[in-house]
Chains A and B, each alone.
Chain A
Amino acid sequence: MTPLLEIEGLKTHFPTANGVVKAVDGVDVTLSKGEILGLVGESGSGKSITGFSIMGLVEPPGEIVEGSVRFKGEELVGAPRERLRMLRGDRIAMIFQDPMMTLNPVLSIATQMIETVQAHRNTPRRQARKQAREALARVGIPSPDERLDGYPHEFSGGMRQRVAIAIALLHEPDLIIADEPTTALDVTIQSQILAQVQKLCADTETGLIWITHDLGVVAGLAHRIAVMYAGRIVEHGPADALLDDPRHPYTQGLIGCVPAANRRGEPLDRIPGTAPAPLNRPEGCAFRPRCTRASRTCETEPHQTRDGLRGWHCFHPVAGEVPA
């Protein structure tokens, strides 16, 4: 069976006056139907650009310079713009980080939902409105019929994000790319939305890529986790294995940074240094300058080590040690 999504050697670069920013620099991801992948990394690691690359929404001057994105076997890199438009919002949907910004402030919720329905189907207006109302009800918006005629500013952040999710679900897509959709929300709202998305994806067998900087969020949500650093995936594998037994020192460091309820009073771990500037990444392993295990070998590019379902790019993996 063809996987839902196969990304191979994806490179998305942004030419600037000072040089080329290699935002995504060789990413491989595979996702099957109904699977939830947590794509984790710090700001600037290229996780959002990976999401936009899949959608064909990289803003010029940025462009995909290499690699392939196959969705249900169809190559999306270099696909006609109209074909990508037809897939977007229909088969592949996206949810953005800041719910205060994603809805057009001067158009009603009904207008924005109905136009999304009608962008992909010749649905009569009345029918499209009904579909929109049902979608709002599905994500737990009370009295959807009234709220439909409201405007974005009349909704709270959490409610707006629910509307965005309802819009993403309108055509029951095969794949949803969620770019930090709960980062801007309260924790209580965050957990509600997480639970809801998890349930909706399970019900409809939708594949989900959940982009976040918060390992804690994906720990309970994702089946698999991929950790990104400086435009590359440094480690990936089943969520449990990766969290309980990380191999890449960066993954280990990230896990140490998560505040945990059972470690009250202990100081949090931190990863020394900062992520390298995108124009000034070190040769070889980009994590080298911040890594306690680095040696001369790390000045060359680490190849992938595979172990069953998981893989990592590191010469000195944290093999089998008890995580900090």
Chain B
Amino acid sequence: MTAFIIRRALQAVVVLFLTALIVFLGVYAIGDPLEILLPGDATEAERAQVAASLGLDQPLPVQFIGFLTDILSGDFGRSFVYNRPTIDVIFERFPATLELVVTALVLSLLIGIPLGLWAGMKPRSAVDETIMTGSILGFSLPNFWQGMMLIMIFSVWLGWLPSTGRGDTATVLSIRTSFATWDGFTHLILPAINLALAQIALVIRLTRTGVQETTPLDFVRFARARGLTERRILLVHVMKNILIPIVTVLGIEFGSLIAFAVVTETIFAWPGIGKLIIDSINALDRPVIVTYILFIVTMFIVINLLVDILYSLIDPRIRVRQP
């Protein structure tokens, strides 16, 4: 296991280096920061002076090495807009997004797995048809439209839940969270549901397919022949087998949700990193964009590693294959 993690860490370093290279070439070398930083009527002398102060007069490889050394020493640059270290800006916003995404994923498991099991146990029944039709709606209705409908129904018509912002937060165990206050919790409900709808549909489909593929297998029949209850067969024998695809997909989805919660965060004015990156792109706040991309890539690497570790916990056949 240790060797496995070390190998993965080395792979991660390579991936991060390549990402840094692409991001650097893309953002620094193709566009000229001086165009944005300097007024249009700046003199040649002023340009040269600013270029020298930012190190932009150096050859490209030297600039890149400088960029890497800064990153390695923990300096990701300062935001043009906020005039603070980019890493601070991102970490300030990140907990809000994480909270939203985790809530959405938990919701999708709590709702998706039982519905998927139910549909899978009774194929082609009225229950199955209803659940599957519902899941098609969850998939195919555009996310932003679902969000607006949620706001219209629950905030505008019924007036039950607030439509924008994060509400009051409080610090529990040194984590600022919306769960700590009722106001924060009510603010979280609608965006979390909005983000969860497509995931619920996905989990339902994965679970249903899993049940239908697993129940005809011999080991399920043998479990029945051993006199196990249907409940145990479904919840232990079938579930543990179908968790493998669910973990895989949700691992990937977790990363995507964090990176692309943009739509939900924009609709509900949720102060997360999705909204930050959209604002930064609009303001051409390059250091924030670069830090954000590197941060997201790191996160994907970590999630993939966690998924692989989870795999080996679920499926004993994977454990032995590791050299």
Q: Which A residues have a C-beta under 8 Å from some C-beta of B? A: 55, 57, 59, 85-90, 93-94, 96, 98, 101-108, 115-116, 119-120, 151, 153-154, 164, 167
Contacts and interface: CB of A to CB of B under 8 A. Distances in A.
A55 B236 CA distance: 22
Nearest to A120: B227
Contacts of B316: 105-106, 108, 151, 153
B315 A88 contact: no
A276 B217 CA distance: 27
A89 to B, nearest CB: 3
B225 interface: yes
A85 B228 CA distance: 7
A96 B219 CA distance: 9
Given A108-B316, A115-B232, A151-B317, A103 B219 contact: yes
B314 A90 contact: no
Interface of B: 216-219, 221-229, 232, 236-237, 240-241, 314-317, 320
Q: What 4 pairs across the A-B complex have the smallest Cβ distances?
A: A89-B227, A101-B218, A89-B226, A151-B316
A102 B317 contact: no
Contacts of B223: 104
Nearest to A171: B227
B228 A102 contact: no
Given A88-B224, A89-B228, A90-B227, A98 B317 contact: no
B222 A164 contact: yes
Contacts of B320: 153-154
A88 B230 CA distance: 13
B224 A104 contact: no
Contacts of B218: 96, 98, 101-102
Nearest to B223: A104
A216 to B, nearest CB: 25
A104 B237 contact: yes
A280 B130 CA distance: 38
6 contacts: A57-B221, A101-B219, A102-B218, A106-B241, A116-B228, A167-B226
A235 to B, nearest CB: 28
Contacts of B315: 105-106
Given A89-B228, A103-B219, 7 more contacts: A55-B225, A85-B229, A88-B225, A94-B225, A106-B314, A119-B232, A167-B226
Nearest to A81: B230
Contacts of A94: 222, 225
A246 to B, nearest CB: 32
A87 B222 contact: no
Given A98-B218, A106-B316, A151-B316, A119 B240 contact: no
Nearest to B225: A94
Contacts of A96: 218, 221-222, 225
B219 A119 contact: no
Contacts of A164: 222
Contacts of A107: 236-237, 240
A57 B225 contact: yes
B225 A105 contact: no
Nearest to A56: B224
Contact of A119 (B217, B221, B228): B228
Nearest to A86: B227
Contact of A89 (B219, B225, B237): B225
Contact of A57 (B217, B224, B229, B240): B224
A206 to B, nearest CB: 15
A24 B314 CA distance: 40
B203 to A, nearest CB: 19
Nearest to B243: A106
B30 to A, nearest CB: 50
B221 A104 contact: no
A104 B229 contact: no
Nearest to A84: B227
Contact of B227 (A87, A98, A108): A87
A129 to B, nearest CB: 16
Contact of B219 (A59, A90, A102): A102
A196 B319 CA distance: 33
B228 A153 contact: no
